[in-house]
Amino acid sequence: MVLSMLAVMGVALVAYVTIPHSTDGDPVHVVDYSSAFASAKRAAPYPLLAPQGLSDKWRATSVSYQTDAEGHSGWHLGFVTPDGKYASVEQSDAPQTDLLKQVVSGFTPDGKSTIEGQPWARYQGDHYRSVTEESGKAATVVAGSASYDELDQLAAALKP
């Protein structure tokens, strides 16, 4: 029995040493969204936006481009902000209210932001807040648990 236990402990030790694990304690998995953005940009029926010029303290964690059952396309780009909160860029050619319902449940108007000289509506939801605008063929919602200041900063960095 002791020999069996030593054999199991030996296998566990080898597995622990050879399996990579984080040494910095940061659980955030950063993604490079540049190729996904380039690909989605070619497919989207509206000018797709992504941030440019943000500091490296903004860490992208998720990216996707999908078309739903009704044929509406949606772009998603998620971040951990410098303050450690969540923020995302959501774009869709679905009606703005439908996009808000998906992203900011229980949303109610909460004033306005002026971003790059343009008015953006603010909404406060049950868990997230957002700044949003609708222009041309798409609605853009910048949402998350981040402060309005950080959401405004992310929205100001959005470029085609």
Domain assignment present for residue 14? The answer is no
46 CB burial (10 A radius; 0-12, 13-18, 19+): middle
Please compute, for residue 152, the number of CA atoms within 13 A of its CA located in the half-sphere on the CB side: 15
Q: Could you list the residue range(s) of the whole structural domain that residue 87 is in?
A: 34-159
End-to-end CA, the chain: 66
Number of domains in the chain: 1
Instruction: With beta carbons less than 8 A apart as the criterion, state whether 80 and 72 touch.
Output: no
Query: Which pLDDT tens digit goes with each residue over 12-64?
Result: 766 676 776 555 556 778 889 999 999 999 999 999 999 999 999 999 999 99
Domain assignment present for residue 8? The answer is no
Domain assignment present for residue 25? The answer is no
Domain assignment present for residue 23? The answer is no
Domain assignment present for residue 13? The answer is no
CATH code of the domain containing 44: 3.30.200.100
Closest listed residue to residue 89, CA positions, set 42, 99, 72, 28: 99
Query: Which pLDDT tens digit goes with each residue over 82-131?
Result: 999 999 999 999 999 999 999 999 999 999 999 999 999 999 999 999 99
DSSP 3-state of 138: strand
Give the mean pLDDT of the chain: 90
* Angstrom distance (rounded) from CA 141 to CA 147: 14
Query: Which pLDDT tens digit goes with each residue over 127-151?
Result: 999 999 988 889 999 999 999 999 9
